[in-house]
Amino acid sequence: MGKEISLHNQTFSLYLDEQKIRERIIELARNINEDYQGKSPIILCILNGSFIFTADLVRHLDFPLTIEFVRYSSYEGTSTTGRITKIMGLKSDIEGKDVLIVEDIIDTGLTLSNAIKDLLKSNPASLKVASLLLKPSALIHDIHCNYIGFRIPDKFVIGYGLDYDELGRDLPEIYQLKDQA
Ligand code: 5GP
């Protein structure tokens, strides 16, 4: 049996270990480095879930960059509420700048499609998206993700920044909810 952990009375099984995550981030960074040579983009970390992915990714990027943080909220427990609230916005002007959004996971795509709409109002020079995880079968909003770490099944995952009611963000690996239909 694989490694398991319990949080808030739910059991999660190990899904992606530290090495797999590290190796994939290095590959993603290689692609991003090729595309951004000669540019100096704003890396936009979508809080809270992306803080670890952003921190690991930027350490493999080899062009000058700035980092900004924004925060939207849509999740309660293990299923989406369908509502998005902006809790914390951008500190600097992105007009005419290259912006790379860094997201932890794209589920329905609601959070990201709202964030993109919001950011496009400020006329960035370019807007791209890097997401560590993507659940293709849950995606209902039409969004283009330029850099995808892992395509995963539509099951609730935690760890590596992702929480289950605020617990589990600190786990170095990614775990999947056990016995989810
Ligand atoms: P979406 O708006 O694409 O439906 O959901 C995006 C947000 O919901 C993510 O940024 C993340 O915070 C949360 N989310 C979606 N799927 C999961 C999941 O499997 N696990 C956790 N912990 N959060 C998720």
Provide the Cα torsion 63, 67, 72, 73; round to 10°: 90
Looking at every residue in the chain, the average pLDDT score rounds to: 91
How far is the CA of 167 from the CAs of 2, 3, 9, 122, 153, in angstroms?
21, 17, 12, 34, 21
Whether residue 11 is contained in a domain is answered as no
Judge whether residue 77 has pLDDT over 80: no
74 vs 62, which has greater pLDDT? 62
Cα separation of the two ends of the chain: 20
Residue 86 confidence (pLDDT) = 66
Residue 140 confidence (pLDDT) = 82
Whether residue 79 is contained in a domain is answered as yes
Whether residue 176 is contained in a domain is answered as no
State the residue range of the domain holding 101.
18-154
Q: How buried is 49 (Cβ within 10 angstroms: 0-12 exposed, 13-18 middle, 19+ buried)?
A: buried
**Residue 25 token pair:** 């981030």
What residues flank ligand 1, with Cβ below 6 Å? 49, 74-75, 80, 103-112, 156-158, 162-164
**Catalytic-residue membership of 56:** no
The predicted model gives 139-156 an average pLDDT of: 92
145 within 8 A of 116, measured Cβ to Cβ: no
What is the number of structural domains in the chain? 1
CB atoms within 10 A of CB 10: 19
Whether residue 165 is contained in a domain is answered as no
42 vs 140, which has greater pLDDT? 42
Tens digits of residue pLDDT in 42-60: 999 999 999 999 999 999 9
How far is the CA of 26 from the CAs of 61, 64, 132, 157, in angstroms?
9, 17, 12, 22
Cα 37 to middle of ligand 1, angstroms:
31
Whether residue 137 is contained in a domain is answered as yes
- Element at 11 (helix H, strand E): strand 10-16
